[in-house]
Structure 1
Amino acid sequence: MTRLISESPILPASPAELRLLIEQRRSVRRFTDEAVPDAVLRDCLELATLAPNSCNLQPWSFQVIRDPELLRRLHPVCLNQNAARSAQVLVLVLARPDTWREACQQIIEQWPEAEVPPPIRDFYRRTAPFQYNQGPFGLLGCFKRWLVRVVGLRRAVMRTPNSRAQMRLWAVKSTALAAENFMLAVQSHGYASCPLEGFDDVRLRRVLTIPRQAVPVMLVAVGKASEKGVYNPRLRFPLERSVTWL
Structure 2
Amino acid sequence: MSLSSTTIAEPQVALTRADAATPAALRALIESRRAVRRFTAEPVPEAVIRDCLELAVLAPNSCNLQPWSFQVIQKPALLAALHPVCMSQNAAKAPLIIAVLARPDTWQQACSGVIEHWPEGPAPKLIEHFYRKTAPFQYNQGLLGWRGFFKRQLLRIVGLKKALMRTPNSHADMRVWAVKSTALAAENLMLALQSHGYCTCPMEGFDEVRLRRVLHIPKQAIPIMLLAVGKPGDKAVYNPRLRFPLEQHVSWH
After TM superposition, is the score higher than 0.5?
yes
1:133 maps to what in 2? 140
2:31 maps to what in 1? 23
Q: Secondary structure at the match of 2:176?
A: helix
2:108 maps to what in 1? 101
Q: Given the superposition, is the C-alpha separation of residues 151 and 6 from structure 1 closer, same or farther in structure 2, using an over 3 Å criterion?
A: closer
Selected match of 1:161 from 135, 149, 168 = 168
Q: Secondary structure at the match of 2:227?
A: strand
Show structure 2 runs of 5+ residues with no match: 1-10
Following TM superposition, by how much is the alpha carbon of 1:6 offset from its aligned partner in structure 2, in angstroms?
Answer: 7.6
Runs of 4+ in 1 over 4 A off after TM superposition: 4-9
CA distance, structure 1, for counterparts of residue 50 and residue 12 of structure 2: 16
CA distance, structure 1, for counterparts of residue 177 and residue 220 of structure 2: 13
2:40 maps to what in 1? 32
2:7 maps to what in 1? none
2:205 maps to what in 1? 198
Q: Secondary structure at the match of 2:19?
A: coil
Q: Secondary structure at the match of 1:29?
A: coil
Following TM superposition, by how much is the alpha carbon of 1:227 offset from its aligned partner in structure 2, in angstroms?
Answer: 3.3
CA distance, structure 1, for counterparts of residue 242 and residue 152 of structure 2: 42
When the two structures are aligned, how many residues end up with a matched partner?
242
Q: Secondary structure at the match of 2:148?
A: helix
CA distance, structure 1, for counterparts of residue 196 and residue 234 of structure 2: 18
Provide the TM-score with structure 2 as the length reference: 0.93
Residue 90 (structure 2) pairs with residue 61 (structure 1): no
Q: Secondary structure at the match of 2:98?
A: strand
Q: Secondary structure at the match of 1:93?
A: strand
2:190 maps to what in 1? 183
CA distance, structure 2, for counterparts of residue 181 and residue 114 of structure 1: 29
CA distance, structure 2, for counterparts of residue 220 and residue 162 of structure 1: 30
Residue 161 (structure 2) pairs with residue 150 (structure 1): no
Show structure 1 runs of 5+ residues with no match: none
Selected match of 2:117 from 93, 100, 110 = 110
Provide the TM-score with structure 1 as the length reference: 0.96
2:56 maps to what in 1? 48
| RMSD of equivalent CA atoms | 1.4
Q: Given the superposition, is the C-alpha separation of residues 163 and 5 from structure 1 closer, same or farther in structure 2, using an over 3 Å criterion?
A: same
Q: Given the superposition, is the C-alpha separation of residues 120 and 49 from structure 1 closer, same or farther in structure 2, using an over 3 Å criterion?
A: same
1:245 maps to what in 2? 252
Q: Secondary structure at the match of 1:175?
A: helix
Q: Secondary structure at the match of 2:228?
A: strand
2:75 corresponds to which letter in structure 1? D
Q: Provide, for residues 97-131 of structure 1, a one-character-per-residue CA deviation record: whole Å limited to 9, x for no partner.
A: 00000000000000001121111111000000000
Q: Provide, for residues 149-207 of structure 1, a one-character-per-residue CA deviation record: whole Å limited to 9, x for no partner.
A: 11111101111111101100100000000000000000000010000011100000111
1:219 maps to what in 2? 226
1:42 corresponds to which letter in structure 2? R
CA distance, structure 2, for counterparts of residue 204 and residue 6 of structure 1: 41
CA distance, structure 2, for counterparts of residue 149 and residue 236 of structure 1: 40
